[in-house]
Amino acid sequence: MTKQAVAALSTVQDEDWRVPAGDLSWSCWETVEHVADDLFSYAGQLAAEQPPADGYVPWGYRRARPDAPALTIFVDPESGTAGLLRVLEASGGLLAASVQVSPPQRRGFHPYGVSDAAGFAAMGIVEILIHLYDVAQTLKFPWSPEAGLCTRVLNRIFPDVPAGDDPWPALLWATGRVELPGRPRRTEWRWYAR
């Protein structure tokens, strides 16, 4: 999934990434940096022989400005959007590798439930899908993920979402991005990692 995200973002890498991403208060740069940071952090939750079940691996977090996301990793601004995309790709590779080598019984902490590798993979996919949607709203590039992937993610970590809707709009609704016929836009949401 990271490969498709990087390919899509590469089509707009010369645009101004300092503008807000969709409805977020974060810039497009901060939003992609947040995704890379989450993928990195999720990999870390699985990487230890005995991951913590009661809290995150104690990376240091900080914000670049008050409304910015709290991050562990920051991309060197001098590297430009090409550098940002390299960090996104590397973070996705770290999560994919951690998921692949994690034994089935390994569990790691997430505030929405202690999860196995499949749960962290689903969370990482959701981060990529919805935040690229946010960035695409501003930078105007096509972003429409494959329906089967959206269905698998919905089934794994959004059991509260009714079946039957087109899976991509259903995932956007589940994460508070859009309204659906008969269902107003969510103002609060969560996934179920357990």
Mean pLDDT of the chain, nearest integer:
95
pTM for the model stands at 0.95
Domains of the chain from N-terminus onward: 2-152 (1.20.120.450)
- Sequence length of the chain is 194
Q: DSSP labels for 18-83?
A: TSB-TTSSSBHHHHHHHHHHHHHHHHHHHHSSS--SSS------B-SSTTSPPBS----GGGHHHH
Q: Do the beta carbons of residue 117 and residue 102 sit within 8 Å?
A: yes
Say what the pLDDT of residue 164 is. Answer: 80
Report residue 172 as tokens. 């956007």
Say what the pLDDT of residue 152 is. Answer: 95
The C-alpha R_g of the chain, in whole angstroms, comes to: 16
Say what the pLDDT of residue 194 is. Answer: 80
Amino acid letter at 92? Answer: G
Q: Nearest 10 degrees: CA dihedral of 143, 34, 85, 23?
A: 40
Query: CA 69, CA 191: separation in Å to the nearest integer?
Result: 19
Q: Do the beta carbons of residue 175 and residue 189 sit within 8 Å?
A: yes
Q: Which residues of the chain have pLDDT under 70?
A: none
Say what the pLDDT of residue 145 is. Answer: 95
Amino acid letter at 165? Answer: D
Say what the pLDDT of residue 181 is. Answer: 92
Other CB atoms closer than 10 Å to residue 149's CB: what's the count? 17
Q: Nearest 10 degrees: CA dihedral of 162, 24, 57, 42?
A: 50
Q: Is the dihedral of CA 186, 24, 89, 10 positive or negative?
A: positive
Closest of 116, 118, 119, 98 to residue 108, by C-alpha: 116
